[in-house]
C-alpha cells in the first residue's frame, strides 16, 4: 500500500494534498538586545548560585523512573501515571506535545487514543513510524485534571525533564504540536497561525510548529495546513542532512 492509499484508508486523502512545494523562508534571527548602560558595581551581596537541575545527571531510563516518582508539582497528586515519553533514544525526529490526556494518563505512553492514531498517520505521511528514528514526549509529564491548560508553575517544575531529554536524544529536528506547546517553548503569545510556516530554534535544535492532532480531529479542515507543516519539516530535515553531508 503506498502513501496515498494509506492516507485514503485513514480518511485523510485528499484533504492532505500537497498544495505546493513552496517552503517558507527560515525566520530571521531576532535583533540582539541593545547593550545596556555600563554601571558601577554596587556593594550588594553576590547572587546565590543557581542550584543544579535535579535531572542533570540522569540518562533516559533514570529520567523515566524519576518522572514516575516525581512530586515536583501538585499534578503528582491527581495523575494516575507519569508519562515521560517513548521512542528511539537516538531519534533524529522529536515530536513534542503539551501534556498527557486521559488515555495517556492511564497507559503511561504519550499520544495514544484517537489523537495518537492521527499523529501516527501524520508521521506516516512523511515516511516516519513511531519508535523508529522518532521520539515522542510532552512538556508536562503528568495530566492536568480535566485536560486544562498547564499552569506556569507546572511548566517551570517539569521543563527540566524535557530539556534533559533533548540534550540526551540530540534530535536533528523538533516538531511541536499545538498552540500551548509552541507558545510555551517559544515563550511567546503569538497565535499558532503565525508561528507555523517558519523554522524556529529551541535549545539549538531547529523546530517546526504544527497543530495538535486532537485539534485536527475537531477541525479537520486544518489538516491541509498541518500537511504543509509536515512538508516543511521534511524539507528542513532533508536540508539539514544534505548540509551535514556536504
Interface with ligand SF4 (CB under 6 A): 67, 70-73, 75-76, 82, 140-142, 154, 157-158
| Residue with Cβ nearer ligand SF4 (99 or 233) | 99
| Residue with Cβ nearer ligand SF4 (151 or 170) | 151
Judge residue 195's burial from the number of C-beta atoms within 10 Å of its C-beta, 0-12 exposed, 13-18 middle, 19 or more buried: buried
| Residue with Cβ nearer ligand SF4 (84 or 213) | 84
Q: Give the nearest distance from C-beta 76 to ligand SF4 in angstroms.
A: 4
Q: Give the nearest distance from C-beta 114 to ligand SF4 in angstroms.
A: 23
Q: Give the nearest distance from C-beta 54 to ligand SF4 in angstroms.
A: 10
Q: Give the nearest distance from C-beta 62 to ligand SF4 in angstroms.
A: 14
Q: Give the nearest distance from C-beta 175 to ligand SF4 in angstroms.
A: 21
Q: What angle do CA 178, 180, 186 make, to 5 degrees?
A: 100
| Residue with Cβ nearer ligand SF4 (82 or 110) | 82
| Residue with Cβ nearer ligand SF4 (123 or 158) | 158
For residue 108, give every residue at least 6 positions away whose Cβ sits within 8 Å of its Cβ, in sequence order, or none.
Answer: 81, 82, 83
Amino acid at each position: 500500500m503506498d502513501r496515498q492509499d494509506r492516507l485514503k484508508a485513514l480518511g485523510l486523502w485528499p484533504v492532505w494534498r500537497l498544495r505546493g512545494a513552496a517552503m517558507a523562508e527560515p525566520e530571521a534571527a531576532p535583533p540582539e538586545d541593545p547593550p545596556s548602560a555600563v554601571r558601577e558595581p554596587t556593594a550588594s551581596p553576590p547572587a546565590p548560585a543557581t542550584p543544579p537541575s535535579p535531572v542533570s545527571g540522569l540518562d533516559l531510563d533514570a529520567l523515566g523512573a524519576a518522572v514516575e516518582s516525581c512530586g515536583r508539582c501538585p499534578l503528582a497528586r491527581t495523575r494516575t501515571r507519569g508519562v515521560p515519553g517513548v521512542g528511539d533514544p537516538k531519534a533524529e525526529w522529536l515530536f513534542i506535545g503539551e501534556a498527557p490526556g486521559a488515555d495517556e494518563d492511564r497507559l503511561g505512553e504519550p499520544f495514544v487514543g484517537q489523537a495518537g492514531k492521527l499523529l501516527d498517520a501524520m508521521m506516516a505521511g512523511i515516511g516516519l513510524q513511531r519508535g523508529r528514528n522518532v521520539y515522542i514526549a510532552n512538556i508536562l509529564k503528568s495530566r492536568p485534571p480535566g485536560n486544562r491548560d498547564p499552569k506556569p508553575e507546572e511548566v517551570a517544575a517539569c521543563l527540566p525533564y524535557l530539556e534533559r531529554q533533548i540534550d540526551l536524544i540530540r534530535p536533528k529536528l523538533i516538531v511541536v504540536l499545538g498552540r500551548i506547546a509552541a507558545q510555551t517553548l517559544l515563550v511567546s503569545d503569538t497565535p499558532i497561525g503565525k508561528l507555523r510556516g517558519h523554522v524556529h530554534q529551541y535549545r539549538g535544535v531547529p523546530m517546526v510548529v504544527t497543530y495538535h492532532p486532537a485539534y485536527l480531529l475537531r477541525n479537520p479542515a486544518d489538516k491541509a495546513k498541518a500537511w504543509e507543516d509536515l512538508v516543511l519539516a521534511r524539507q528542513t530535515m532533508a536540508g539539514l542532512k544534505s548540509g551535514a553531508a556536504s
